[in-house]
Chains A and B, each alone.
Chain A
Amino acid sequence: MLVAGLVVLAVLLLGALIGPYHLPPKDVLRLIALGLSGQETSGPQATVLFNIRLPRVLAAALVGAALAVAGSAYQVTFRNPLVSPDILGVSAGAGLGAVLGIFLGLPVLAIQGLSFASGLGTVALVMLVGRAVGGRAETLPLVLCGIAIGALAGAGISLLKVLADPDDQLPAMTFWLLGSLAGIQRGDVWLIVPPMLLGLVPLFLLRWRIGVLALGEDEAKALGVDTRRLRWLVIGSATLITSAAVAAAGTIGWIGLMVPHMARLAIGARFDRVLPMSLILGAGLMVLIDTLARSIATTEVPLGVLTAVIGAPVFLVLLARRNTGWN
């Protein structure tokens, strides 16, 4: 885990080095050291580094970490390795909010706010309906409600895309739905940190108990865990961090599904270890992918495209190399 952490730090620095404006490694390190010690920095190099490069790299790290952690928590809670953070409709809901914001011509901050609120609201609706339809403890009705309500949100997105101005709004919507960090500004990083921390802290504190949920309702209870309260807490926390990530960067698939598997392949199935490992790997992978997204072509490649193009083969190779045999 220490090794993985160091590699991620290196990837973060690499992300800060690469870009159209040439920043030599020496200067980057000097400026970061100056910045950390609280001294004034100025000049074009500092502007590029602190206003463009670093915010974007940090946002990528936060978004990747958030999606990976949420994915690992959802997989354990729903006892299913195929679950990703959007299982309860958070991505579809957040997407609908953002597309509506773009359609109404709202400013960027309002689009992000609407997306965040709409993601949370969708999952809240799923939980209410799931509870009404399927009773208290069952997860399957909850998942089915998530699929149904996610489909409704998807229909709303499609409708808005048809109604949108094809020259101006539609490309913005499409780009947002495929995920991008191109619009990230310095202030945005501070905006997504509080909801992420609010979700991450409970998951970290309760990591051992959350791992016990993987044994199933009856066994976890017999081992002394109040499963119902814990499950709501996990879903709430994971939804909060996913919503924040999606509001900042659009819907980015694959990370939340794939990174927890990579973490388990690296250090085993224990959730209290998978959680920090997912955080580290998610951050590193996202920064790497985002750096590629803005440097391999003259126009930015949507993140959602790259996560799938890179993620799927890496995932298959990992699977083939180590037979994991999930019963």
Chain B
Amino acid sequence: MELIRTTGLAIGAAQKTVARGIDITLCRSEILGVLGPNGAGKTTLFRTILGLAPAHDGDILLGGTPMAQLTRRKIAHRIAYVPQSMSAPFPDKVSDYVLAGRTAHLGPFAAPGAADRTRAASALAALGITALADAPINRISGGERQAAMIARAVAQDAPALMLDEPDAALDFGKREHLAQLLQGLATQGYGLIFTSHDPFFIERVADRVLTIDRQGHCRSGRADEMITDAQLSALYGIAEHDVRQARRGRRAETGIGRMSRMDASA
């Protein structure tokens, strides 16, 4: 089933269009990684698809319905957003933070009821953070916050999830955990779009990749076709030789990761 489709989408801030001709199709169980240098428009693309910023051109269909015909509430039924970091100014409990994901399913004057609390609890369980339910969100680790933010999106019961740099604050072990988690969500039927600064994390997780370069040109394709030395070299403006170096460095890092795990078991 088709969750998100953009055709000829142009995005930008205020008057300035930063990228155009973006064609995205996201179906259930699919993972799309968005890759591009800083300032190319990844965040703007997210905000546009979420209806937070106006499209400069083109169409966005959510579940087959044009964005313009959808209220905030209806958009929230179709897409859940996982921000890059938590920004709550008051220290909510983790369970209450996740409960906010139910807002789009409540009447305007209603507060969450027993069914909503059950859904939030099952989202916590799905992310493996049931034990943190009563912990204040400002007292848990970065990885746990990440899990709480994803749990909130899961509690929202939208078929598509958009995650903004979910791997940004995570160490190697937590990234691997996140990779498996995202693939697990896709297996359950969610369609996922995420951004990352790490092409190799995208290669590890995504089925398809959209790249946006500094000139605002967009390309998309299968992950193995897109994350090549030549493509990365063109995208980031560095020599292919340097991309290969980076890949080798990554392999070494992975090796160190394995060794340290062996050390730990020894």
A residues at B contact (CB < 8 Å): 76, 79-81, 205-209, 211-212, 214-216, 218-219, 221-226, 264, 268-270, 272, 324-327
Q: Which residues of A contact B100 (CB under 8 A)?
A: 211-212, 215, 223
Q: Are A79 and B91 closer than 8 Å at their CB atoms?
A: no
With A79-B89, A207-B111, A270-B93 known, 16 other A-B pairs at CB within 8 A are A215-B100, A218-B81, A222-B75, A222-B80, A223-B81, A223-B103, A223-B104, A224-B75, A224-B76, A226-B71, A226-B72, A269-B92, A269-B93, A269-B136, A325-B139, A327-B138
Check B83 against A218 for contact (C-beta < 8 Å).
yes
- List of B residues within 8 angstroms of A270 by Cβ: 92-93, 96
* Contact A224/B83 with A206-B109, A218-B47, A272-B111 known, Cβ cut-off 8 Å: no
Interface residue ranges, B against A (CB under 8 Å): 47, 50-52, 71-73, 75-77, 79-81, 83, 87-93, 96, 100-101, 103-104, 106, 108-112, 136, 138-139, 156
Residues of B within 8 A of A327 (CB): 88-89, 91, 138
Inter-chain contact B89/A208, CB cutoff 8 Å: no
Contacts of B111 in A (CB 8 A): 207-208, 272
B106 contacts across to A, CB distance below 8 A? 208
If A208-B103, A327-B138 touch, whether A219 touches B81 (CB-CB below 8 Å) is yes
- Chain B residues in 8 Å Cβ range of A209: 103, 108
How far, in angstroms, from A218 to B164 measured CA to CA in the complex?
12
User: Distance in Å from the Cβ of A224 to the closest Cβ of chain B?
Assistant: 3
Measured between alpha carbons, how far is A308 from B224 in the docked complex, in Å?
66
User: What is the chain A residue whose CB lies nearest that of B89?
Assistant: A79
Tell me whether A326 and B83 are in contact in the complex, defined as CB-CB below 8 angstroms, given that A206-B108, A223-B104, A268-B96 are known contacts: no
Residues of B within 8 A of A325 (CB): 91, 136, 138-139
Tell me which of A205, A212, A215 has the highest count of chain B C-beta atoms within 10 A of its own C-beta. A215
Among all A-B residue pairs, the 8 with the closest Cβ atoms: A224-B104, A224-B76, A222-B81, A269-B90, A224-B73, A208-B111, A205-B109, A223-B103
- Cβ distance A199 to chain B, nearest Cβ, rounded Å: 16
Which residues of chain B come closer than 8 Å to A264, judged between CB atoms?
90
Kindly state the separation between the CA atoms of A326 and B111 in the bound complex, as whole angstroms. Answer: 25
Contacts of B71 in A (CB 8 A): 226
**In the complex, residue of chain B having the shortest beta-carbon distance to the beta carbon of A208:** B111
Residues of chain B contacted by A224 (CB below 8 angstroms): 72-73, 75-77, 103-104
Contact B87 A215 (CB under 8 A): yes
- Contacts A206-B108, A226-B72, A325-B139; is A221 near B51 (CB within 8 Å)? yes
Task: Contact check, B79 vs A222: say whether CB atoms are below 8 A apart.
Answer: yes
Q: Is the CB of B103 within 8 A of A324?
A: no
B52 touches A218 (CB 8 A): yes
Q: Nearest residue in B to A204 (C-beta to C-beta)?
A: B109
Interface centre among B100, B106, B136 (most CB of A within 10 A): B100
Could you tell me the distance between the alpha carbons of A212 and B92 in the complex, rounded to whole angstroms? 11
Assess whether B50 is in contact with A222, with CB atoms less than 8 Å apart.
Answer: yes
| Cα of A122 to Cα of B136 in the assembled complex, Å | 38
Question: Can you list 12 pairs linking A and B with CB atoms under 8 Å apart?
Answer: A81-B90, A208-B112, A215-B88, A218-B47, A219-B81, A222-B50, A223-B81, A224-B73, A224-B75, A224-B76, A224-B104, A269-B92
Contact A80 B89 (CB under 8 A): yes
Least distance between B27 CB and chain A CB atoms (Å)? 21
Give the residues in chain A near B80, CB-CB below 8 Å: 222
Cβ–Cβ < 8 Å partners of A216 in chain B = 87
B90 lies within 8 A of A219 (CB): no
**Would A221 and B87 count as touching, CB distance under 8 A?**
no
Chain A residue nearest to B71 (CB atoms) is A226
Q: Which residue of B lies closest to A223 (CB)?
A: B103
A79 proximity list for chain B (CB < 8 A):
89
Task: Give the distance to chain A from B84, nearest Cβ to Cβ, in Å.
Answer: 11
Interface residue from A205, A206, A208, A326 paired with B90 (Cβ < 8 Å): A326
In the complex, the answer to whether A219 meets B87 with C-beta atoms within 8 Å is yes
Quick check: B72 and A221 within 8 Å, CB to CB? yes
Alpha-carbon gap, A326 to B89, bound state (A): 6
CB distance from B29 to the nearest CB of A (A): 22
Q: Please measure, in the bound complex, the distance between the C-alpha atom of A326 and the C-alpha atom of B91, giving whole angstroms.
A: 6
Note all chain A residues with C-beta closer than 8 A to B90: 76, 81, 214, 264, 269, 326
Nearest residue in A to B79 (C-beta to C-beta)? A222
Query: In the bound complex, what is the Cα–Cα distance between A76 and B100 (angstroms)?
Result: 14
Report Cα–Cα, A325/B139, bound state, in Å.
9
Known: A224-B75, A225-B103, A326-B90. A269 touches B96 (CB 8 A): yes
Q: Judging by beta carbons under 8 Å apart, are B88 and A225 in contact? A: no
Residue of B75, B81, B87, B106 with highest tally of chain A CB at under 10 A: B87
Q: Which residue of A lies closest to B81 (CB)?
A: A222
Q: In the assembled complex, how far is the CB of residue A29 from the closest CB belonging to chain B, in whole angstroms?
A: 36
Q: How far is the CA of A324 from the CA of B96 in the complex (A)?
A: 17
Task: Find the B residue at minimum CB distance from A325.
Answer: B138
Residues on A with beta carbons closer than 8 Å to the beta carbon of B73: 224
A214-B89 in contact (CB<8A): yes
User: Which of chain B's residues have a CB closer than 8 A to the CB of A81?
Assistant: 89-90
**Nearest CB on A from B63, distance (A):** 15
